[in-house]
């Protein structure tokens, strides 16, 4: 029998982890595609506007749940003004200001994610962002005082390795996937990237790296063509790598800080109130630093929604839903379990590549490390200290 809230008939802990597993793979692909596709107008959309809209959406959803929660605790005839007064009080009183810290850090992380996915292949982004498994564990030990035994540390290291092996061994598949999505652009843009592919097949432009496989050669020639025509934004790998590494550190720190606030034993602030506070405070850095200071000049020239199409909107909605799922995972399970869920999502994403040795080996590592981590810690019974009579 399960008490407590449920989702899809499952207890919240399992349901939120499972849903996050599927949401995460979709988000990475769509977000990458939205950054590297040929923009529908003259310009690619501004990442700062997407980060702001993501927060607005999360605020709206969280407020809806918070209002629903508050209304359930009041008598049916209570006037709406009392309900809103109570809600206002719970959102802005007490230690609500503490949420300003994760708000700034998460907004920074979300911006870095756009920079990283606009400058790296999906596969490289996924491998490098696995480092957040280790940064999260480190901050859990430092900030939450959790102690992880040697078996759990080893499980996390093997999890990081396993995911990297799965991702790299399936890298050609992931390229295929993003190329297939690229080809979809035929339906939406008159001069499509697919058309460029036709030209690229006949034009061999020398490029560093392995040009032996047709796919790599084709992507190399893509770069050559793109350099000339400047149709699709070019990638800057070192910027992408820096962005993803900093994002991994920020992710570990912020996730653990948010968990600390949620699980303080003396506080009984609900998860939806915390989410309203977090989204509210995130509006300020997203609007002031992102939209006004960083992109303000360009936005006033081209417009807030310049470069938007259905792909961009899908990425924003997926990111908002993913953020709220993340908060549920942190609340009902913890940050490490949340990272396991996103790691498993990578394995699911590459399940199509069965037959590749690396894939099988990597998957075995992920499963074994998940199992090993989940085993309860054994309490060591130490023999009592021996007193030496003096």
- DSSP secondary structure string for all residues of 35-87: HHSPPSSSSPPPHHHHHHHHHHHHHHHHHHHHHHHHHHTS-TT--HHHHHHHH
| Cβ-Cβ contacts under 8 Å for 31 (sequence gap 6 or more) | 113, 114, 117, 315, 318, 319
Does residue 231 sit in helix, strand or coil?
coil
| Cβ-Cβ contacts under 8 Å for 47 (sequence gap 6 or more) | 35, 111, 114, 115, 118, 290
| Residue with Cβ nearer ligand C5P (39 or 322) | 322
| Residue with Cβ nearer ligand C5P (120 or 324) | 324
| Residue with Cβ nearer ligand C5P (311 or 337) | 337
Do 220 and 205 contact (CB within 8 A), yes or no? yes
Stretch that binds ligand C5P, among 3-11, 32-40, 106-114, 198-206 (CB under 6 A): 106-114
Q: Does 323 bind ligand C5P (CB under 6 A)?
A: yes
Q: Does 326 bind ligand C5P (CB under 6 A)?
A: yes
Chain centroid to Cα 254, Å, comes to: 13
Q: Among 278, 286, 312, 365, which residue sits at the site for ligand C5P (rule: CB under 6 A)?
A: 278
Q: Among 258, 280, 359, 373, which residue sits at the site for ligand C5P (rule: CB under 6 A)?
A: 258
Binding mask 224-253 for ligand C5P (x = CB under 6 A): ---------------------------x--
Question: Which residues on adjacent β-strands are paired with residue 6?
Answer: 11
Strand 10-11 to strand 6-7: parallel, antiparallel, or no bridges (unpaired)?
antiparallel
Q: Does 106 bind ligand C5P (CB under 6 A)?
A: yes
Stretch that binds ligand C5P, among 5-13, 321-329, 346-354, 359-367 (CB under 6 A): 321-329
Q: Does 57 bind ligand C5P (CB under 6 A)?
A: no
Q: Does 58 bind ligand C5P (CB under 6 A)?
A: yes
Binding site for ligand C5P (CB under 6 A): 58, 106, 109-110, 251, 255, 258, 275, 278, 323-324, 326-327
């Amino acid at each position: 029998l399960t008490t407590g809230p449920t989702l899809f008939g499952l207890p919240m802990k399992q349901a939120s982890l499972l849903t996050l597993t599927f949401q995460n793979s979709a988000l990475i692909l769509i977000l990458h595609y939205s950054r590297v596709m040929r923009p529908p107008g003259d310009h690619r959309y501004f990442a700062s506007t997407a980060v702001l809209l993501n927060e607005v959406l999360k605020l709206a959803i969280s407020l809806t749940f918070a209002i629903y929660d508050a209304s359930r605790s009041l008598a049916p005839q209570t006037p709406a003004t009392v309900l809103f007064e109570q809600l206002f009080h719970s959102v802005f009183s007490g230690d609500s200001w503490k949420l300003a810290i994760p708000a700034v850090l998460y907004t920074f992380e979300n911006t870095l994610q756009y920079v990283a996915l606009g400058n790296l292949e999906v596969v490289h982004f996924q491998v490098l962002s696995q480092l957040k498994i280790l940064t999260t564990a480190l901050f859990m030990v430092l900030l939450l005082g959790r102690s992880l035994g040697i078996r759990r540390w080893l499980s996390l290291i093997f999890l990081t390795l396993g995911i990297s092996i799965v991702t790299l061994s399936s890298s050609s598949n992931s390229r295929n996937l993003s190329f297939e999505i690229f080809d979809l652009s035929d339906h939406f843009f008159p001069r499509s990237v697919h058309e460029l592919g036709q030209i690229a097949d006949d034009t061999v432009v020398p490029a560093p790296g392995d040009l032996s496989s047709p796919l790599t050669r084709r992507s190399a020639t893509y770069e050559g063509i793109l350099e000339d025509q400047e149709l699709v934004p070019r990638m800057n790998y070192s910027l992408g790598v820096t962005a993803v590494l900093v994002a991994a550190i920020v992710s570990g720190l912020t996730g653990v800080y948010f968990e600390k606030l949620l699980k303080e034993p003396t506080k009984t602030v609900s998860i939806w109130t915390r989410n309203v506070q977090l989204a509210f405070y995130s509006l300020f850095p997203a609007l002031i630093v992102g939209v006004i200071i960083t992109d303000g000049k360009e936005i006033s020239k081209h417009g807030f929604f310049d470069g938007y199409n259905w792909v961009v909107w899908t990425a924003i909605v997926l990111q908002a839903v993913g953020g709220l799922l993340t908060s549920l995972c942190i609340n009902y399970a913890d940050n490490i379990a949340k990272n396991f869920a996103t790691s498993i999502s990578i394995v699911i994403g590459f399940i199509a590549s069965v037959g590749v040795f690396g894939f099988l080996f990597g998957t075995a590592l992920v499963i074994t490390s998940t199992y090993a981590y989940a085993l309860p810690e054994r309490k060591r019974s130490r023999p009592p200290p021996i007193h030496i009579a003096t």
